[in-house]
Every structure is written in C-alpha cells, then in structure tokens.
Structure 1
Amino acid sequence: MPRFFKRLFKFPSMDFEMAIWEMMSLIIAPKAVFRSIYYHKQQQKTWHRPDPSFTYLLSLFLLLTSLAWGFAYADGAGRMLRIALVFVFGHFLLVSVGVATVAFFLVGRLLGPGVKGLPGRRRGLYNLPGGDGEGREELEFGYCWDVAIRAFVPIWVFLYVVQFLCMPLVGTDHWLSLLLSNTLYAIALNYYFTITFLGYNALPFLHHTELLLLPGAITTILWFASLFGLNLSRHLAPVLWAGARLRKDV
C-alpha cells in the first residue's frame, strides 16, 4: 500500500485504460481480470497493483451517479452534496476499506495452507504451485483492497445505475416490481461474492476459497424469502442510505 499512496497524485503514471478494461471485464468476464493480475505478479513480484486509477475512476462514476440520484430525489443542493459524499466516501471507500481489513485478517488465517478439517482444492485459479522454493507467501492488504474495490463494480452497475433507471418500475407496490427489484439486488450481491471468490482463488497459496461462495447461496435463499412482500428498492435504495429527504417516495 505505500506505493499506492506514493502514486496517489501521479496522474500521468496511472493506467486509466487498464482500469476501464477491468471494469468492463468484471461484468462480462471477471476471470480475465485476475488472470491479468497473475501476469502482473510475474513481472512486479507482488499481487497488489499499486495504481490508484481504478479507485479514482470508480469514485468518479459514483459521483456522477450520485448527481443523478440527487437531481431526481434530493431536496436541495445540500442534500445532493451529502448524497455525493456518502456514495463515494461512505458506500465505496469506507465499505471497501472495511471489507479489505476483514479479509486481510481472516482470509489468510482461515483459508491459508495448513487449515485442518476443510476439504482440499486445487491451488489457485491457474492450478499453479504455491511458490515452492520461493519462500512463504502472505496475503497483502493491498491485494485485499484490490479485490474489494473490483467487487464493488457490479454493485455500482446494478444498484446505482440500473436500479436508478428502473426506479419507476421497481418502486411501485406491484409484485412484479418487487420481483424485479429484489432480483437486481440478488444479481449484484452474487456478482460481488463471485468476484471476491475469483480474486482470492487466484492466489495459489490460499486453499478452500470456494467457501467464499457460501454468502451467495445465503443471498439466493434470502432473495426467495423476500419475494413474499419486501421490496428492497423501497427500503434499501442507495439514496435512502445517504439519509436524504426525498421529493417523492422511492
């Protein structure tokens, strides 16, 4: 992470083209993103990619999205500013730091080599040896950050962009609205857990990473249960988490 902060304001050295490619690939072919990270490891000897371009770009997209939500639902410029700050610094950066911190302390300890009582698995996304002869590898906090912010992309796409465009459809009291709304949340969360799994599954020194898919199964069960009357868009829309007053019901 120190290299990440050193490059925080060195914009000419940032690879925004790669960041855009990663964002598109995370929706279409997420496995390709972590294949490129593996090649980065071969060249730079670190799994972490200390390039802030992805963080900046997704923050910018969230800022633009917050303006759309603000124009549509916020009451006044002050509320719009609050939505923008909460979207970028609260929903994205703070949550990603929290997820990365939890993963840094738990994933390596619970899914690392030598954990007893868990089923075996192949070693890494590309079935590579776990660094034999190169010393013991450890999970980097920077890599946990990389995985966390990349896993946020489908959350942004489905819950901040698609949901906003579909609010006239998903924000009503009809059951079809409830179905569409809750399906959006299920897709977004399952994408999130899948990308998280792919990120850690790419590390050859971690084992049993398939356990990271368990929250996806729980999400599917909760999605089915929610179809009996809880419209998630009316209760969990991002603008509501920002604590803004609304001109009209969401």
Structure 2
Amino acid sequence: MNKRNSLPMPANHPKDCMSAATKCYKYMRRMFKFDQMDFEFAFWQMLYLLISPQKVYRNFQYRKTSKSQFARDDPAFLVLFAAWLCVTSIGFALVLRLGFIQFIVFLLYVIFVDCIFAGIIIATIFWYVLNKYFRHNTNDLDVEWGYAFDVHLNAFFPPLILLHFCQLFFYNGLISHEWFASRFLGNTFWLVACSYYVYITFLGYSSLHFLRRTQIILAPLPLLAIFYIISLTGGFNITHMMMNFYRDRVV
C-alpha cells in the first residue's frame, strides 16, 4: 500500500473472526481501557476526515482483510469524538450564555439525542436498505451495522467541527444579526456541513465493492443547493433558527 496516500496503520492488527455479539462485547469492554486504545491513529482519522476523507476508508478495507470486519474494533475514535462534543458544547454554552445546569442538559442532548440516537436511526436505515436493495445478489458479504454506525460518526465529525466550533466564532459578531451577510455566512456553513455529511456517507458505502448504485446516496446534494438558494432569498437564517431551538430546549 502506498504510504503517501494512506493513513498510518493502527498499532495492533491481529486476525480475529468473531460473531457480531462477541465483537460488540469486546468493543464495549475496551471502552475504558485507555492504555489499549490507539489515540494517535484515531486523531489521524479525524484529521483526514477534514482534508481527505476518501483515505480514511482505505483503512476500513484493510481491517476487513486483517480482522474479518469493516467496523472499528478500537473505541479510541469514539472516545475522542465524545471529547470533541464536550469541548464544542462548552463553546455553545458560552455563546448562548447557558447556566451550568443548562449546559449539562445541552451536553446530554447533543451526545445522546443529536449524535447517538440520530446515529442509531440513520445507521439502521442504511444497514437495512443497503443490505436489502443494494447488494450484488451473488455476494455473501453484507453491510455490518457497526460499520454503518462508523460511517455516521465519520460523516458527523466535519459538520461537528464546522457548526459546533468554527461557526461559533462568527455568531455574536455577525451571524446573529438580520443582515444578508449574516444569513449568507450562517447558511453557507450549513450547506457545507450537510454536503460534507452526504459526501462522506457516500464514500463510506461506495468503498464496499459488493454494493451497487451507491451514487444514489449523493441525490440530496442538488436538493441542499436548492434549499440554500431559497433560504437566502426567503430571508431564513438557519443558524439563528437553530440557536433559538438549542436555547429553547434546555430552558
């Protein structure tokens, strides 16, 4: 494999063939064993999701050949992801001027509703639909539910950085106003973030050679562009609306 076009390999990669239940058990058991996690590799995955996401999925192919599964078996990425959620939630609390109890409620909403609960629903839908309608009939391979959830986390990370981190620096000074420039900047953040989510989701499933017609996953992109234009001309500041929604649900 060309090292210039690939992520660093994880620290450990022994072959292991297990049932789905056993894989889930081993994954959860390692959740608090930080000394066994490859945080450096997880960090590199997050970086590449921002600058070159297609390289991330080359490692998922490698994991299938070395560990008999596409899904991550190291919870390091999930732990770092949760840390980012905490950091960005602190930023939201400062921008929205939330009290401590409101911040805790907001953090719980972001972790368990916006990320995990929504991710379970989205991963389950993709897992079911792709296995039922997009697999080559002559192939015995199928989409693992754990891999579908990994794809969601991968696709969720760049929007998290854009909307819950970068955007906050512009909110009070610019985006919160009723100017066209405010609407343009805030809505553009959302357009880029949602497009990132769709594109990385597409990359995740198109990298599975036993799936066909995965380009259909890109179908929402033109709809996002149309909605973006409508929001600008119609005077809808999406960021301002979402900030009010976040504030209202924790008050």
TM-score (norm 1): 0.85
Q: Can you list the C-alpha shifts for 1:197-220, whole angstroms capped at 9, x where unaligned? A: 000011111000000001122111
User: In 2, distance between residues paired with 1:232 and 1:214?
Assistant: 21
The Cα of 1:2 is off from its aligned counterpart by: 3.3
User: In 2, distance between residues paired with 1:17 and 1:65?
Assistant: 21
1:162 matches 2:166: yes
Alpha carbons 2:96, 2:247 under 8 Å: kept: no
2:168 maps to a residue whose letter is F
The Cα of 1:241 is off from its aligned counterpart by: 6.5
Alpha carbons 1:160, 1:238 under 8 Å: kept: no
Match of 2:93 among 64, 67, 70: 70
Q: 1:126 is matched with which residue?
A: none
User: In 1, distance between residues paired with 2:244 and 2:55?
Assistant: 29
The Cα of 1:40 is off from its aligned counterpart by: 1.5
User: In 2, distance between residues paired with 1:144 and 1:83?
Assistant: 26
Alpha carbons 1:113, 1:205 under 8 Å: kept: yes
TM-score (norm 2): 0.85
The Cα of 1:71 is off from its aligned counterpart by: 2.4
SS at match of 2:219: helix
Higher helix share: 2
The Cα of 1:238 is off from its aligned counterpart by: 8.4
**C-alpha RMSD of matched pairs (Å):** 1.7
Q: 1:233 is matched with which residue?
A: 239
Q: Can you list the C-alpha shifts for 1:32-72, whole angstroms capped at 9, x where unaligned? A: 00011111212112111121111111111111111121123
Alpha carbons 2:183, 2:236 under 8 Å: kept: yes
1:111 matches 2:111: no
The Cα of 1:183 is off from its aligned counterpart by: 0.6
Q: Give me the identity figure in percent.
A: 29
1:29 matches 2:18: no
Match of 1:145 among 127, 144, 149: 149
Q: 1:57 is matched with which residue?
A: 80
Number of aligned residue pairs: 226
SS at match of 1:227: helix
SS at match of 1:243: helix
Q: Which ranges of structure 2 fall in alignment gaps of 5 or more residues?
A: 1-23
